[in-house]
A = this chain, B = another copy of it.
Amino acid sequence: MNMRKVKVQQKILIANEEFASRNRTFLAERKIPCLNVISSPGSGKTTILAKTIQELKGKVKIGVIEGDIQTDIDAQRIRTTGAPAFQINTNGACHLSAAQISAAFHKLPVDSLDLIFIENVGNLVCPSTFDLGETAKIAVLSVPEGDDKPAKYPAIFARAAAVLINKIDLLALADFDIEKAKADILKLNKDVMIFLLSAKTGDGLQQWCAWLYEMVRNKTR
């Protein structure tokens, strides 16, 4: 990487950090936790969010900012649960930026929400570098992806407050060693919460939702 590239990347990250800092203030003033969900394409982020919204209905008012390169498929799926969702299309860019999130906050009924999810572009690499001003990052790893992904893509697993291991209904069919995956994640990040779940069957959803509920209660009381 040449020096000019490094310098410009630093400037981009500094500009992003200014917006991230504003976002953090915006959220702190309103006492709304905001979780930045990061994973490979197809790990089940949108299904997890839709099921989480249903599970916490009547207890936690959730809004979602969806990031995708193209299409508004995901925002449409979230809206079928009754929750408000705003779709960002990055038109090629491989991650969301803090400036996009800053604008998106004003497209949601923020003052009526208890919790905001950001579903980042499906990409296990680039989104982990860009601070959006979120309260915490959540990593999703799905069983069919394989238990070697924490070792191969360490950045997001090192920075996440929680890792969701999704699609555990496929454990019998995949070569996925849960204990190996857990050990590799804890080696990168000893304080991380790890939840095993299947958004499809609902298995494990309650523990994850109980953790979210406690986060919201601690923030707002």
Contact = CB atoms under 8 A, between A and B. Distances in A.
Interface of A: 1, 4-5, 8, 11-12, 40-42, 68-71, 73, 92-94, 121-126, 142, 144-146, 148-149, 151-155, 167, 169-170, 173
Given A40-B41, A144-B144, A155-B92, A69 B125 contact: yes
A62 to B, nearest CB: 22
Contacts of A92: 125, 155
Contacts of A93: 1
Given A42-B40, A124-B122, A170-B144, A152 B70 contact: yes
Contacts of A169: 173
27 contacts: A1-B93, A4-B11, A5-B12, A40-B41, A40-B42, A40-B122, A41-B124, A41-B149, A41-B152, A42-B149, A70-B152, A70-B153, A71-B151, A71-B152, A73-B151, A92-B125, A94-B125, A94-B126, A122-B124, A122-B152, A122-B153, A123-B126, A125-B126, A144-B144, A144-B167, A170-B170, A173-B173
Given A5-B8, A122-B152, 12 more contacts: A40-B40, A41-B145, A42-B142, A42-B146, A69-B125, A70-B151, A70-B153, A71-B148, A94-B125, A126-B126, A169-B173, A173-B173
A28 to B, nearest CB: 28
A93 to B, nearest CB: 8
